[in-house]
Amino acid sequence: MSKRLRSSEVCADCSGPDPSWASVNRGTFICDECCSVHRSLGRHISQVRHLKHTPWPPTLLQMVETLYNNGANSIWEHSLLDPASIMSGRRKANPQDKVHPNKAEFIRAKYQMLAFVHRLPCRDDDSVTAKDLSKQLHSSVRTGNLETCLRLLSLGAQANFFHPEKGNTPLHVASKAGQILQAELLAVYGADPGTQDSSGKTPVDYARQGGHHELAERLVEIQYELTDRLAFYLCGRKPDHKNGQHFIIPQMADSSLDLSELAKAAKKKLQSLSNHLFEELAMDVYDEVDRRETDAVWLATQNHSTLVTETTVVPFLPVNPEYSSTRNQGRQKLARFNAHEFATLVIDILSDAKRRQQGSPLSSSKDNVELILKTISNQHSVESQDNDQPDYDSVASDEDTDLEATASKANRQKSLDSDLSDGPVTVQEFMEVKNALVASEAKIQQLMKASRLEKQNSTPESDYDNTPNDTDPDDTGSSRKGRQRSMVWQGDGSVPDTAEPHTAPSPILPSTEDVIRKTEQITKNIQELLRAAQENKHDSYIPCSERIHVAVTEMAALFPKKPKSDTVRTSLRLLTSSAYRLQSECKKTLPGDPGPPTDIQLVTQQVIQCAYDIAKAAKQLVTITTKENNN
């Protein structure tokens, strides 16, 4: 981290003090509230990073700082600086404005509509204007004037422009001149370090020939940024490019689960994609990794007791209007992959990226990205017919939700009720879980009071039409404890089927009161864990995870050994496997753990993920039992 965050720094959008996020491609620093709006716009509009809690390549951070300190924000607010704007009532947001609609509307106008950017005089041929701007960019990048180049890029100059007379691109020019910050800016806007000039030389070659070795190494990193980011997401390590190692292919801890025919078929479909479609899919997965990692940083840095939950909703990748509707739908479905499914897809992409670079083409086929996503996400549906069930949860089918419509709160709530995916969970979702539990608890207390009054004057009645009486002694005492022991997993992360081979599936469900009581215990322990994560109390992870483990085990013990409902089975599987994964992640904080040094930030990210997976599964079980018991 460089010497930054001076007290004079303010949010570029609302002028609030002490901004803690950066919009990399806009060259601005922004506060939490404004960042929440940036995140909802998508990376094609604004690429956000936390200034302290996100790993930064030093020169990338230096590039953003330089732009901020040299007035890059005036590029995006050009017309607002005109005194006539004040007279017309146009103004920027201020810290006291509400996020919605005030700050949100201003930020969309500023970055999405480019409503305040200086406009060039209209010309009949826009391509000529873009060409002129690109030529200006080509000549400007040899200097250190970053804001001039950002202004040209904002007006439509192309970062990959190939100069017909010079025979090279702006990145070649910046590399020859040793302008590393210009190279960072061009790369943010899509410049390709592997592009060849008219003589077949790349920007990396130019940098090396000019003796700019730090720039050459950085350009190689940028060239492999996509695969490096995917690998780091899974294992917390990056390849050693200096020594010729350009790929890391992580291994799944439970790789035996990936030997199914469906998994092989999905991998084969991925390999058969054209290079163009494969690159699109890889870029979409990269964007999803960025969304999940940013969610984890967001959750770890917010004040959960005072946070306005409306500022946290980024449930899936926002729509990019430059992409087809099919691609946008595929991108949004990535959010519904659980941790295991998404890791499988990432590993397959890394493996195939390495194969393709090494020049081992396969015959192409007509299979498309959508089919690959669907095959991988539905892999569990066949495997779960076996007793050795993998730790997958269910992923909703195409018909479960209209991806476009889930942007609305009502449909998002519907999706939360029916979706068991364990993708990143926002604070809003967690608060919705908590609020739903509180509301359910109040309702249950009323039902219990009414029930007690009835039972004083009548014999106990069964909660279920086809269930033995609740007072059956076989369902209490030692037999309940025995059931609890039988539900403890054996270490494979999945729910063992402890029922006898010929035991018929049972439709019996526990009382809603019992399920809610256990869920409240789980929720309370999860809140303690999140507070520990927020306050960096890493030594509290293990005791918190153990309490969650006990509460989850007790809740699972309430249900029959072989539930008849597929939804109940899947919810229980997600509940217990997530608790198991949580314990495994928390153990990584133990001192003296053999192996590579622990990346505590990566561990915290996984811990938060597992905790929210548990909360979602518990909420689903509350929903199911409440619904069934009220029928």
pLDDT in tens, 267-304: 888 989 999 999 999 999 999 999 999 988 888 887 65
| pLDDT attached to residue 358 | 84
Burial 176-194 (b: 16+ CB within 10 A, else e): bbbbbbbbbbbbbbebbbe
- Residue 426 above 60 pLDDT? no
Q: Which long-range contacts (CB under 8 A, 24 or more apart) does 518-522 make?
A: 518/551, 518/554, 518/555, 518/558, 518/618, 519/437, 519/555, 519/618, 519/619, 519/621, 519/622, 520/437, 520/441, 521/551, 521/554, 521/555, 522/548, 522/551, 522/552, 522/555, 522/614, 522/615, 522/618
- Residue 389 above 50 pLDDT? no
| pLDDT attached to residue 548 | 93
- Owner of token pair 């992870």: 541
| Cα–Cα nearest to 238, from 253, 225, 251, 256 | 225
pLDDT, tens only, 406-425: 333 333 333 333 333 334 44
CB 75 within 8 A of CB 190: no
Share of the chain above pLDDT 70, in %: 69
- Residue 6 above 60 pLDDT? no
- Residue 57 above 50 pLDDT? yes
Whole-angstrom Cα distance, residue 259 to residue 252? 12
Higher-confidence position of 272 and 485: 272
| pLDDT attached to residue 418 | 31
Higher-confidence position of 484 and 200: 200
Enter the pTM of the model: 0.61
Whole-angstrom Cα distance, residue 157 to residue 131? 7
| pLDDT attached to residue 241 | 94
Of 14-28, 127-141, 378-392, 550-564, the range with the lowest mean pLDDT is: 378-392
Tell me the C-alpha to C-alpha distance, in Å, between residue 186 and each of 149, 382, 543, 571, 628.
9, 46, 48, 46, 58
Mean pLDDT of the chain: 76
pLDDT, tens only, 512-546: 888 888 888 898 888 888 888 877 888 888 889 99
Alpha helices, DSSP H only, in 6-103?
32-41, 58-69, 73-76, 83-87
| pLDDT attached to residue 352 | 94
| pLDDT attached to residue 594 | 54
**Over residues 503-509, mean pLDDT:** 74
